[in-house]
Every structure is written in structure tokens, then in C-alpha cells.
Amino acid sequence: MSTNTAPEGWLSDYAADGHGANGKIGIVLVHGFTGSPASMRPWAHFLQERGYTVRVPRLPGHGTHWEDLNHVKWQEWPARAIKDVEELRKICTKVFVFGLSMGGCTTLNVTQTVPVDGIVLVNPMIHIPGVQVQFAPLIALFKKGLASVGDDIKKSGVTEWGYDVLPTRGVLQLNKMLKVTRANLAKVTVPTLLFHSVDDHVLPISNSNIIMSEIASKEKQRIEITNSYHVATMDNDAELIFHNSLAHIERVVSGE
């Protein structure tokens, strides 16, 4: 896994306005920790081709050098996504936020802060289980980076073009966002669609279970996917995710 081989422009912010009736529907797609906008580009292109207005922000500290992620405060991540939500509100009648992994936590945090019309979560993160995270502050004092957790993709020859190192101080900030966001899950009331990979080597199923049980959304659906690993937006079940997210948008917009 490396950011060096990414297609030109795929590590940067991406914005495309839609057309027709769907052009008034905006979607912000949020990538995961140590990942990049590249992991959300296929999904964004799928929606754009169907007329939707899309934004794929590059979260601060990502898509550059892994050391940069050690110098970011967690509040910068939801703030970056909120910027796109607020801009879309000016030109769209409905705005959705879609998130992968940490992008799922970021999506939930955004939803707790500003109005959105619906969300889609793919293998979302809401806690770091186990006792190891308790030693994260100590580890961060002595090591700036650890082995990467990225590129958990079943499909052969596919990469998310993320960092090949896990920045330890960035993990501390991530854990802070997870705790704050989980404490406020009851504030999430919007229609929610969640995808969970049965074979996820990055996050345990407890993350999806917590979210589904603690959000207050009356309309919430969970779909298990069986032929993809963690970065499912680039894996074998991507089309299943894309089409079901499209159906989710259509249900919310139609008011069904």
C-alpha cells in the first residue's frame, strides 16, 4: 500500500455537480483513518453518473505523508466534512453523508452536529476494543508509527492508496473522537443504512452492533456483506453497496 502510485487527483478533494432532478441531491463521502479519498471515488463516480452532486473531502492529515497525521486534532476531521455539508445545503434540497470505517464515526459525529437527511455507513468504527488502546499514549511517546492496518481488501490487485504506517499520535486523536461520538449516538435520528463485512480483519463486529443499538434512528437497516473485507467500497461487494445506497437515497427523498 502506498500513496505514491495513486491515480492523479485521487488523493485530493473531489467535487462534481450533478444534473437533472438528482442534481439537487448532495452526497458527502468520507474516507477512513490512514486511507484517502481514493477509497470513496468509485462510489462517488457511481452516484455522479446517475446525476447526483458529490463531494469527497480529503480529511486533514491524509493523502500526503503519514507523519502529517500525527499533527492533527480530531475535531478537524468532522469540521472538514461539515464544510462540504454546509456548502451543499446552499445548492441542494437534500444532503446525505456516507462514511467508511473512521469515516463512519466522522459521519455519525457530523450528524450529531449539523442537519443531514440520511447516512450510509460501511464497516463503521465507534470504539477500539481490548486493553491495548490503554497503552496508546505510552506507545506514542516512544514510537511515531506502527505497522499499517490498511488495504484489507479481498479483491486481488486492489489498493486504497493509503498510508503504509499507522501514526501513533493520530490514533490517540482517533480514540478521542470515538469516545465523544459514541457518548452522543442517541443524537443520531436520521435514516441510516449500515453495511457490515462478515470477514473484516480490521474491526470487530462490536462496532456495528453498538451503532445499531445506540443510535435513535427510527429507520435503520443493516446489510451483511459476505465477499469483501474491511475496505468494502473497493472490494467484491462494492456494486451491492452502491445500488443499495442508491435505493436508500430514493426512499428518503420520496418520503416512503
Q: Which residues are catalytic?
A: 101, 200, 230
DSSP assignments along the chain, one per residue: --STTSPTTTTS-EEE---TGGGGEEEEEE--TT--GGGGHHHHHHHHHTT-EEEE---TT-SS-GGGGGG--TTHHHHHHHHHHHHHHTT-SEEEEEEETHHHHHHHHHHHHS--SEEEEES------SSGGGGHHHHHHH-SEEE-------STT------SEEEHHHHHHHHHHHHHHHHTGGG--S-EEEEEESS-SSS-THHHHHHHHH---SSEEEEEESS--S-GGGSTTHHHHHHHHHHHHHHHHHT-
